[in-house]
Amino acid sequence: MPKRLGRMDEDKLLDRFEVAPGKRLHLKDHDPGWMGTPDLRRLGRDEVKARAHRYLEANLEQLAQAQELLWASDTHSVLVVLQAMDAAGKDGTIKHVMTGVNPQGCRVVSFKKPSTHELDHNFLWRYWQVVPERGQICIFNRSHYEDVLVVRVHPELLEASGLPPGKRGKSFWKGRYEDINAFERHLARSGTLILKFFLNVSRAEQKRRFLARLDDPDKHWKFSTADLHERGYWDQYQKAFEEAISATSTKWAPWFVIPADHKFVMRTLVAAILTRGIRRLDLRYPTVSAEGLAALKQARHQLESEK
Ligand code: AMP
Ligand code: MG
């Protein structure tokens, strides 16, 4: 990352990760090991990493201020969607990007396999319950996209969900994408900024991270044989991601494909895109009316004339 970025340079840098609405995503064109432009890479890994850290720090400071403004203006909310293969670094990204924000205005919701109660409703129901309130940032650690990813890769999950019988071909999934776009459009129209991140880790790096978990007893808890099982469906997942992201990257809820093999690159980019997104809302602190100002003056007078 450059030492100091002008807004235009920054836009150019960040825009390259956005999936243009209507464009077909080919993951093979996205390098999970991306570590900067050729100019930057010439500086070497250590220097790029140091710059990324400085850029992250600057963004986290701005993010804390942006969040306060979001909270004070109370007109908008922010929904961050994180999706990835296992061990791509969702949890670490949340931890890093959210340091410094006021916990009162921020919430993380992690979605697991739906309960039978949840499955007794339409698939978007459980997400509706927890969309962010005005003034709040909410991070979905996994999200409504699981219903077109894991459920697509494992059709038996769909069959167990109690839907009326019917064909589950292409048009079924197209229907789900439409539902998702409509859901997000409604949220956006109601004042929710939606930013969606696919943390794009390579198969080789996932293997390395799994092995690291097996090597280190303190990391054993992070390893699950279920994750290894899912790794066996790598190609099916990549295809499901490509299709879902292509169909649901919209003007009102864009997807970003974030290179995830270098954690410092991933965290820095997510923080920068989030900070930029809130800044672009162009929020203002609420102004006080003439009567309000008079009341404040009176309050000051009252306090100062106390014995
Ligand atoms: P983790 O994030 O490691 O705690 O794992 C959560 C698990 O729940 C993952 O295997 C997800 O694929 C699974 N999961 C999340 N949402 C859904 C869903 N809508 N349908 C089926 N499985 C899901
Ligand atoms: Mg897991």
Is the Cβ atom of 112 under 6 angstroms away from ligand 1?
yes
Mutate to test the pocket of ligand 1, among 81, 113, 151 (most ligand atoms within 8 A of CB): 113
The per-residue pLDDT for 200 is 98
Q: CB–CB of 201/83 below 8 Å?
A: no
Residue of minimum CA distance from atom 15 in ligand 1: 112
Distance 242 CA to ligand 2 centre (A): 21
Distance 87 CA to ligand 2 centre (A): 8
Distance 252 CA to ligand 2 centre (A): 29
Burial code (b: 16+ CB inside 10 Å, e: under 16) for 187-212 equals: bbeeebbbbbbbbbbbeebbeebbee
**Which residues are CB-contacts of 118 (< 8 A; sequence separation ≥ 6)?**
125, 126
The residue ranges of every structural domain in the chain are 7-305
The per-residue pLDDT for 6 is 77
The per-residue pLDDT for 100 is 83
Q: What is the pLDDT along the chain (307 residues), one digit of tens a residue?
A: 555 667 888 999 999 999 999 999 999 999 999 998 888 889 999 999 999 999 999 999 999 999 999 999 999 999 999 999 999 999 999 999 999 899 999 999 999 999 999 999 999 999 999 999 999 999 999 999 999 999 999 999 999 999 999 999 999 999 999 999 999 999 999 999 999 999 999 999 999 999 999 999 999 999 999 999 999 999 999 999 999 999 999 999 999 999 999 999 999 999 999 999 999 999 999 999 999 999 999 999 999 999 8
Is CATH 3.40.50.300 the right assignment for the domain spanning 7-305? yes
Entry pTM = 0.95
Atom nearest to 147 CA in ligand 1: 19
